[in-house]
Amino acid sequence: MLIVNLVSREKRLAYLQNSRVEKLVFDRPEHRSLVGNIYFGTVSKVLPGMNAVFVDIGEGKNGYLHRDQLPSFVASEDKQKTVTAYVHQGEKLFVQVEKDATGTKGPKLTGIIEFQGTNLIYLPNGHYIAVSKKIQDIQKSASLRNFANQYKMEQEGLIFRTTSISSTEEELITELSQLRERYQIMVRNAALMKKPGIIFQKDSFTEIIFEQAERMTAGEVIVDDLHLKKIMQAKYPKLNVTYYKDKENIFSTYKVEHAIEKALKRMVWLENGAYLIFDETEALTIVDVNTGKFSGKSDYQDTVLKTNQLAARETLHQLRLRDIGGIVLIDFINMKQEQDRKAILETIEKELLKDEKRTKLIGYTPLGILQLTRKKTKVTLSENLQVKCSVCEGTGRVLSSETVAFQMERELLEHRHSDYEAVLIETTNEVKAALLGDNEIHRQVLEDLLHMKLCFTTTATSKPYYLIKQFGTESEITQKAGECY
């Protein structure tokens, strides 16, 4: 089941299998991912010691680009020279974001830009050919490579997507021509730019919706936007697309809010009474497995193995749900028997097959800690929804003012068909500002949508919160609030 929540400014997606949330995606204007965006940037600094450059892309933080991702390096026959041989300070070049900025680090860039089509991924300066690993028909794979050798120019690169297996040669030629034209239009537009800036913006959230639907061979899609419902009905006739129009927010109705709350907690309970502790840092994530209340029905080693198997499955599920990337260390309960350690590895390998992100299982350290890596392209769920708590100076986390404001907005929208004239809300100045926007630009739109006036009383607290105190007539509410402000 795919659930899409578009009714408020924060767009959300949840994918469920067997009533269990497997994937969560959030899209906010202020935290929108830059991955896939193409910029016309300027090299601001060359770092020979790191074989890399910093590139000003007009987004505040400069991006980081390694020498090996420069088109001039890829085209060169001599791969031994340092970065200074391939690029110079002040040089202008096209770059694409591979990984969002996080913490103090700017976005990670590549100069080998990609244009994605339905069947092809076109790389104007890729210099290589690749076929999706999911195409296991050797004859078809060879046929696609022959096509690429026949129709691509020397400096170009082509990646054949899984859908290309059922495409005709004429369809591939047409798509290749269209992708080339997109690149040429981008080059012409860049020639008119006087300073670094974006030249192609990827609608990543809509693409994620379509990509997830594409993977579903059957099932239900539930959306709270009528326009999207019509698009998906036409695009995916194999799926049962339903328009959700109840008052309660769609995520609340399908119990997704509870899964979000669980995915933000440091402690995750397992079904047998054991639990996991997640500690996320900028460099890596550590998962500690504890037996907790579980004592097992037989000997100690049986208890350990069963707990570790449950922990392995839940840990991989949480990594996907929280979108944790980078280095992950899992400290399982100590296993004395080698066959038990191998059983855990087999469980992990099986779970990794469910992951859309590129992962690598490294193995156990000498201390028995399991190591794996997961590709990181954007901020984690906790980084997206939470901020460091000013009360405890970063040792804990609380929901951000924006998150609380969106929660308030969703709760208010559940009352949009009521007969009330006004509502009185107690909250903080920060949450109110996040709800109404700069100079309260969103107030009129929200009040028109709700068919009622918004009245606030604000308090100064260190934790963002809100309390809907009363609905009623405008005179009743303004009498208590003083005025609607």
* Distance (Å, whole) CA 142 – CA 137: 9
Q: How far is CA 290 from CA 64, 145, 318, in A?
A: 39, 51, 16
Dihedral, CA atoms, 30, 36, 42, 44, nearest 10 degrees? 70
Q: Are 62 and 176 found together in one domain?
A: yes
Q: Are 8 and 53 found together in one domain?
A: no
* Distance (Å, whole) CA 206 – CA 337: 48
Q: Are 314 and 287 in contact (CB under 8 A)?
A: no
Residue 58 pLDDT greater than 80, yes or no: yes
Among residues 159, 183, 200, the one where a domain terminates is: 200
* Distance (Å, whole) CA 23 – CA 45: 39
Mean pLDDT computed over 133-152: 88
Q: Are 195 and 211 found together in one domain?
A: no
In a domain, 101, yes or no: yes
Q: Are 340 and 447 found together in one domain?
A: no
Q: What is the pLDDT of residues 392-421, one digit of tens each?
A: 666 677 889 999 999 999 999 999 888 899
Give the side-chain half-sphere CA count within 13 A for 104: 2
Q: What percent of the chain stands above pLDDT 90? A: 55
In a domain, 151, yes or no: yes
Q: Are 316 and 215 found together in one domain?
A: no
Residue 5 pLDDT greater than 90, yes or no: yes
Q: What is the pLDDT of residue 93?
A: 93
- Number of domains forming the structure of the chain: 4
Q: Are 336 and 193 found together in one domain?
A: no
Q: Are 96 and 245 found together in one domain?
A: no
Q: What is the pLDDT of residue 241?
A: 93
Q: How far is CA 140 from CA 157, 163, 168, in A?
A: 19, 12, 12
Q: Are 14 and 258 in contact (CB under 8 A)?
A: no
Rg of the chain in Å (alpha carbons): 26
Read off the pLDDT band of 480 (50, 70, 90): confident
* CATH number of the domain where residue 408 is located: 3.40.1260.20
Burial class (CB in 10 A: 0-12, 13-18, 19+), 171: middle
Exposure string of 82-103, with b = 16+ CB inside 10 Å and e = fewer, is ebeebbeeeeebbbbbbbbbbe
In a domain, 386, yes or no: no
Q: What is the pLDDT of residues 285-320, one digit of tens each?
A: 999 998 776 665 566 777 788 889 999 999 999 999
Q: Are 50 and 161 found together in one domain?
A: yes
Q: Are 94 and 124 found together in one domain?
A: yes
Q: What is the pLDDT of residues 177-217, one digit of tens each?
A: 999 999 999 999 999 998 999 998 887 788 889 889 988 88
Q: What is the pLDDT of residue 83?
A: 92
- Fill in the amino acid letter for 316: L
Q: How far is CA 291 from CA 144, 269, 306, 337, in A?
A: 52, 10, 10, 18
Q: What's the longest Cα–Cα distance across the chain?
A: 79
Q: Are 45 and 179 found together in one domain?
A: yes
Q: What percent of the chain stands above pLDDT 70? A: 96
- No. of H helices and E strands in the chain? 14, 26
* Distance (Å, whole) CA 311 – CA 270: 7
Taking CA 345 as the corner, what is the angle to CA 339 and CA 349, rounded to the nearest 5 degrees? Answer: 145
Mean pLDDT of the chain: 89
In a domain, 384, yes or no: no
Read off the pLDDT band of 29 (50, 70, 90): confident
* Distance (Å, whole) CA 221 – CA 236: 10
Q: What is the pLDDT of residue 164?
A: 87
Residue 483 pLDDT greater than 70, yes or no: no
Any idea which residue has 């799926």 for tokens? Answer: 239
In a domain, 234, yes or no: yes
* CATH number of the domain where residue 189 is located: 2.40.50.140
Q: Are 52 and 161 found together in one domain?
A: yes
In a domain, 382, yes or no: no
Domain span at residue 20 reads 2-32+204-258
Spacing of C-alpha 81 from chain mean position: 36
In a domain, 385, yes or no: no
In a domain, 24, yes or no: yes
Q: Are 244 and 292 found together in one domain?
A: no
HEC secondary structure over 133-171: CCCCCHHHHHHHHHHHHHHCCCCCEEEECHHHHHCCHHH
Among residues 258, 280, 303, the one where a domain terminates is: 258
Q: What is the pLDDT of residue 179?
A: 94
Instruction: Categorise residue 165: left if φ over 0, alpha if ψ from -120 to 50, beta otherwise.
Output: alpha
Q: What is the pLDDT of residues 241-293, one digit of tens each?
A: 999 999 899 999 998 998 899 899 989 998 888 899 999 887 899 999 987 76
Q: What is the pLDDT of residue 166?
A: 84
Among residues 322, 339, 374, the one where a domain terminates is: 374
Q: What is the pLDDT of residues 79-126, one digit of tens each?
A: 889 999 999 999 999 999 998 887 778 899 999 999 988 889 999 998
* Distance (Å, whole) CA 223 – CA 250: 8
Q: What is the pLDDT of residues 321-336, one digit of tens each?
A: 999 999 999 999 988 8
